[in-house]
Chains A and B, each alone.
Chain A
Amino acid sequence: MGMRELPSIGRRRGSIVGAVVLAVAVGVVLRSVMGGPLSGIVSKGALSSTLRLSVPIAFAALGGIFAEKSGVINIGLEGHLIISAFVAIYAVNTTGSVWIGFVAGVLASTLLAGVFAVVCLEFRADQIIAGLAVWLVALGLAPFLSTVIYGSVNASSSMSFERITIPVLSEIPVLGALFDASPPVYLLFLAVGGSWYVLNRTAFGRWVQASGENPQALDTAGVSVRRVRYASVLLSGVLAGIGGASFAIDLSQFSGNGQTMIEGRGFIAIVAYLLGNYNPIGAFFSTTLFAGLQTLQIQLQSGFLPSSLVQTIPYLTVIVVLALVGRTRTPDAAGDHYESGEE
């Protein structure tokens, strides 16, 4: 393929765009084969739905980027989403304020990230094992607490975010969905832009990248690798916490059965940022690709294919896209411990 000669950045961008175009094309073809109006696919409602489904995944993905860029693989994103979802609902119920609940959820997730950071950075635990432990602890703890407090693994609240509708702009066909959403969606736009800016245009961003690529160099330059990694892991907890808290508050509910209401979204987030090659904007678009397909499959179900088959389309597409165009470059020192003064 002639693509190979392109510089890696251009190639990556090209492949993401290609993947999105491919997915839309597949959707349109499927839809027209199965009959029914095409308008449903690109409607304001479908775009709103895609954005709402993107919120938890995209926030967790942004968090994962910071942690892994700094050299700490945070595979426990799912756990952060779970714990923040439950704590948010609990705090909303006890304080009667949506925003206090939101902050409490974020704090809980950050606290969990703090424990993870200590385990990985002070005790030099294997990051994958510790990350899995974070997930398993949250998976057990949240439904357990819910049972203790509410007598059931499911807990609900009666409050949710107020939707913010921007006049005039929200009237635009289709794209109006971007200006008629609940606060977490706007926060997501800010977070994606902000993360990109921090990573690429600030000193902290350069430290994070150096800490993951060449920690010795960072150390030599007089910056503490440990502190940069602590900050990055905590930041991943904050971002994933925003995702989990927003998700639960938006639905006024925590349901803790089986894989809980998060149902693997934290793991999808990992796929999303790998597909986006650790670029916040790339991760955002990979997320919307997945979430968009989730919305699309609802429409496709009315066709002749069995719905259980249609439901696999988002997952299949992501796997195919990852296999065909995924050329992710992992940071060199990701997963490795770094001790100042070690050779």
Chain B
Amino acid sequence: MDRRTFLKAVGATSVAGIAGCTGGPTENGESTDNASDGESTAVAVVYATGGLGDGSFNDQAQAGLQRAEEELSLQTEHSQPSDPSDFPQFQSQYAQSTSPTYDLISCIGALQKDPLSDTAPQFPDQQFMIVDAKVDEDNVESYQFREEEGSFQVGHLAGLLTTGGLSTGAASTTEETKVGFVGGEELPLIKKFEAGFKAGIKHVDASIGVTSNYVGSFNDVARGKETALTQYNDGVDIIYHASGNTGTGVFQAAQQAGRYAIGVDSDQSKTKSNYADHILASMVKHVDVAMFDAINGVVEDSFEGGTSTDLGLDQDGVKTVYGETLGPEIPEDIKSNLETSKEKVASGEISVPTDPSSV
């Protein structure tokens, strides 16, 4: 019984296991053309931690990539890093790749900002795009969203519904006028959601109670659920979450408590259809539009590094999408109210704060 041999075997297995976990770049293109022949464009995507199948942010980005694949001649590859410390490795791995040579490397998520600020200057000929952050380099296109504007809309909706009351098959509001917010990690980006939401509620009535909690993770369903249940037990009617996968727990809590929730990033009444009876609406962030525009720009040779594009309500970069099941139950006068406030925000008549403390 040689334990050294055995340990080696165990070690090798675990290394293989970890490698499996990290995933490595996955070949995903049906086209095998060499990108440099000019016929197809090669695009590599580094997704945010949270991975595909999160039913929100990454899936929305993937939708843009898929649209580009259908409409343009593309060769694509992607990776799903499980930890932010893997970002630099994937970014430079794609930048160094020669077969194919990538025409564009898409970096999804604010946490890629610092790694990309290091990587981009090392590969001045490589074109990058980043979503949710601004990187001041000549070879990076930055796309940012005015999440606070979309969140203002759903805040307006939540405020009107908790005041007016709503009762549908599986859920109903309480006598109290209270709403809640559940955030993932307490980052400036997530605070924009909170700020917009609070401003939207205040726009209805400053006396509506708002409870805000941060779970401290974008991936802890269990604690997302407990946090939301605590709020619902406290009389909260509607919870808006900006917490990635943690939000699945918020929907489960809504189901258990028989109340409502508002989704984020993509139409979650579709991506999390099990909970469609409880999802009033979603604050959709069109990461897919940013993704498609950037790829299209590269295909049409109009890539402009160093630029930053802000997508708000005005450009349909963010918008409120009513839930598939519950949308028809929401009174028409509330919907028209929301249209009015949307125009006011888009025209700048209402300015939405980005910091919760200034609401």
Contact = CB atoms under 8 A, between A and B. Distances in A.
Interface of A: 40, 43, 45-46, 49, 52-53, 119, 122-126, 129-130, 133, 136-141, 143-144, 147, 150-156, 158, 247, 251-253, 255-259, 261, 263, 294-295, 298-299, 301-302, 306-308, 311
Contacts of A122: 1
B258 interface: no
B82 A258 contact: yes
Contact of B229 (A49, A247, A256): A49
Given A133-B10, A261-B219, 8 more contacts: A119-B10, A137-B13, A140-B16, A140-B17, A140-B19, A143-B21, A253-B221, A307-B216
B252 A153 contact: no
Contacts of A156: 248, 274
Given A147-B23, A251-B249, A307-B186, A137 B217 contact: no
For chain B, the bracket of interface size reads: 35 or more
Max chain B CB contacts within 10 Å: which of A122, A147, A294, A299?
A147
Given A139-B21, A251-B249, A151 B213 contact: no
Nearest to A308: B186
B328 interface: no
B10 A45 contact: no
Contact of B11 (A124, A133, A308): A133
A151 B229 contact: no
B252 A133 contact: no
B252 A144 contact: no
Given A133-B13, A252-B252, A255-B245, A125 B6 contact: yes
B212 interface: yes
Query: For the complex, would chain B's binding face be called helix, strand, loop or mixed by DSSP majority?
Result: helix
Interface string B232-262: 0110000000000100110010000000000
B10 A308 contact: no
Contact of B214 (A119, A150, A256, A301): A301
Nearest to A302: B211
Q: What 4 A-B pairs have minimum CB-CB distances, sorted nearest first?
A: A152-B53, A140-B17, A144-B20, A45-B233
A252 B82 CA distance: 21
B273 to A, nearest CB: 9
A49 B82 contact: no
A156 B274 CA distance: 10
A154 B214 contact: no
Nearest to B59: A152
A31 to B, nearest CB: 13
B51 interface: yes
B217 A153 contact: no
B230 A125 contact: no
Interface of B: 1-3, 6-7, 10-11, 13-14, 16-21, 23, 49-54, 80, 82-83, 186, 211-214, 216-217, 219-223, 225-227, 229-230, 233-234, 245, 248-249, 252, 274
B220 A261 contact: yes
20 contacts: A45-B230, A53-B226, A119-B6, A123-B1, A124-B3, A129-B7, A130-B10, A133-B10, A136-B14, A136-B17, A138-B17, A139-B17, A147-B20, A154-B245, A256-B51, A257-B50, A257-B245, A258-B82, A301-B212, A302-B212
Contacts of A124: 1, 3
Contacts of B10: 119, 125, 129-130, 133
B240 to A, nearest CB: 16
Most B CB within 10 A of own CB, among A150, A153, A311: A153
Given A119-B10, A136-B14, A258-B83, A251 B221 contact: yes
A152 B52 contact: yes
B135 to A, nearest CB: 24
A258 B49 contact: yes
